[in-house]
Structure 1
Amino acid sequence: METTEARRKGEWLELRVSRTPESAHAARLTLLAAGELPGKWLNRLYAAGGIRVGEGCIGLRVFADSELSAEPLYGRAAAAAGTLVPILHEDDYCLVLDKPAGMAVHPSGPAHGGTLDEQALRHMLRTGQRVRTRHIHRLDDDTSGPVLYSKNDLAQWKLDEAMRAKQIDRVYLALAHGRIGPNRGTIDRPIGRDRHHAARRRVSSSGDAATTHYEVVERYADTTLVRAWLETGRTHQLRVHFSSLGHPLVGDALYGGAPRQGIRAQALHGEVLRFPHPWSGARITVCAASPRWLAALSR
């Protein structure tokens, strides 16, 4: 398929094509043959009447409105007041929110409010966007940094694919106890559940493969500031890996870290998020503001 232009027109994404298909069915087959869009998504879109043909174009109902009042978090989001968390990036396909330490990404139960998912829905309501958002990845409650959301089903399909293909990169800053010797290193140790503690993970030969790369940013008297990035995304991966080296993160009581003045939670911060845009494929880089605990180190 040779497309010359794609533009949004209300709920529809119009693809200009050099040859107009005879029907919506023919347009679906043309798009499937091109292989640029998820096949299952195209078939579902077609079944719902979401593909149409115009003069010189194929229309895809990518931006269909959602009934947000049916969302489980609607009541809390509509009633909530106060300041929203910072928005680091937004377009028609995706949203990136700057999650503070101490906030969960999603609720753990019906009574759990004040989550980042709730913040995303509040933003949609405040800006008049009838859009259902879904987080693509998560951060631990006490970890700050950027979290990526999809704003339509196509974006969710494409970004989920990118996660599975390890095309979404997350770079972290962490403050670890002790002085880490090598300036650079790789921690390649499998991680599994800790049968003695439901909330903990541990290095285990029977666990899932987990790889963390790091570089030393600065060494202090009894701590080391590192920048780390993950090949895998296991639960608590950075925290488990550095604890397994004998260098637990400052403030991380679950894995042996001790508290430090000026640091109220574990000293772990998502610094940079990189992902391929779900439509254009362009590489998007989003940077979060430095955490307060990092500024406290220089005082």
Structure 2
Amino acid sequence: MKIAKRGQWLQIAVPVEWSGLKIEDILKEKLHIPKSLLHEIRMNKGVKLNNDTLPWSNTVKTSDSLQIQLFVDEDYGLIPEYTDLNILYEDDHVLVVNKPANMDTHPTTEGQLGTLANAVAFHYQAQGIQTKVRHVHRLDQDTTGAILFAKDRLSSAVLDRMLERREIKRTYYALVHGIIKQKSGTIDASIGRDRHHPTRRRVSPSGQQAKTRFKVIEKLPSEQMTLIELQLETGRTHQIRVHMSHLGYPLVGDILYGGKEVFSRQALHAKYVQFPHPITNEVIQVEAPYMDVPPIFPQ
């Protein structure tokens, strides 16, 4: 599918498979525009076919140009602040950034600075883009790696739905204490709050369902550590840290869950993120290189 940003408008060259469809069917069934946004676009006459405003009951043909007013100006929702960003992938609709350690994903209090979202707002501002900063998922303050942002309202809605349906695949690398004998495994254990600690989570039958898959990448007998690859089937707070501690292999540096303070933080890195593009449906896979120097993981 050929798409282009033209000011506030997304321009789509109608592909062969859309020929004969009504404009409304394309908006609802092909682009998956949610009802609230669809209503707003309708009220603002935000759809054109070949630069003409036509009833949405009109059908399209191959090579027609469909225009949707998608890139309206919005408040960033936080204070832009310059921080050097390690950008892994960017187009008009999505942004993937490699988050460093000791940085929150987004502000948790009004006016907070120093977060990745503040830096993304500055990046948008420097590009002349006026849009709300929307993170699709988040990482703990001391976890590094790939974080996905949506740059427009439609991409945000579509990616949120993909996240719920587990269509966004996130792969983590972690260094844990102990030598894991099995090559791979699945941890299926519900996670809830720890009543005795304000920030800690624990495995609890009454908690939310949580599932983590892991695979051994490298055993380090001299350090009594194992490098593992993990994928989340769910996205609970501290899920990897809680599950690996519950299994008896806490993350190196994760003192909250039983790890030894070998490093100044838990040894956890979001290595890959893979997702269907919210507009074109093309599969995008992005790798986030380690940011620590010297690196805390074996190369």
User: TM-score range, shorter-chain basis?
Assistant: 0.7 to 0.9
- Check whether the contact 1:84–1:123 (CA below 8 A) recurs between aligned residues: no
CA contact (8 A) 1:28 1:42 kept: no
CA contact (8 A) 1:170 1:274 kept: yes
| CA-CA distance at 1:291 after TM superposition | 4.2
Residue 190 (structure 2) aligns with: 190
* Matched residue SS, 1:295: coil
Residue 195 (structure 1) shift? 1.2
The reply on whether 1:8 has 2:10 as its aligned counterpart is: no
Offset from partner CA, 1:185-212 (integer Å, 9 cap, x none): 1111111111111201110111111111
Structure 1 stretch displaced more, 120-129 or 233-242: 120-129
TM-score (norm 1): 0.86
Q: Which runs of 5 or more structure 1 residues have no equivalent in the other structure?
A: 19-25
**1:249 and 2:243 equivalent?**
no
Helix, strand or coil at the partner of 2:104: coil
- Does the C-alpha gap of structure 1 residues 181 and 5 become closer, same or farther in structure 2, counting only changes over 3 Å? closer
Match of 1:58 in 2: 66
Task: Choose the corresponding residue for 1:236, options 214, 217, 238.
Answer: 238
Contact 1:32/1:39, CA 8 A, preserved across alignment: no
**Aligned-CA RMSD value:** 2.4
The CA distance in 1 between the partners of 2:294 and 2:270, in whole Å, is 12
After TM superposition, give the deviation of residue 290 of structure 1 in Å: 2.0
Q: Write the distance in 2 (CA, Å) between the matches of 1:45 and 1:255.
A: 48
- Give the whole-Å Cα distance in 2 for the aligned partners of 1:279 and 1:209: 31
TM-fit CA distance, 1:181: 1.4
> How far is the alpha carbon of 1:177 from its aligned partner?
0.8
How far has the Cα of 1:63 moved from its partner? 1.7
Shift of 1:153: 0.3
Output the amino acid matched with 1:65. D
Q: What are the within-5 Å matches in structure 2 for residues 190-269 of structure 1?
A: 190-220=190-220, 221=222, 222-260=224-262, 263-269=263-269
Q: How many residues align?
A: 280
Question: Aligned with 1:166: secondary structure?
Answer: coil
Equivalent pairs: percent with the same residue? 39
* Mapping 1:14-93, distance limit 5 Å: 14-16=11-13, 29-32=24-27, 34-40=29-35, 41-53=37-49, 54=51, 56-66=64-74, 68=75, 71-74=76-79, 77=80, 80-81=81-82, 83-93=83-93
TM-score, normalised relative to structure 2: 0.86
- Structure 2: give runs of 5+ residues left out of the alignment: 16-20, 53-63
Q: Is the Cα–Cα contact under 8 Å of residues 28 and 46 in structure 1 kept in the other structure?
A: no
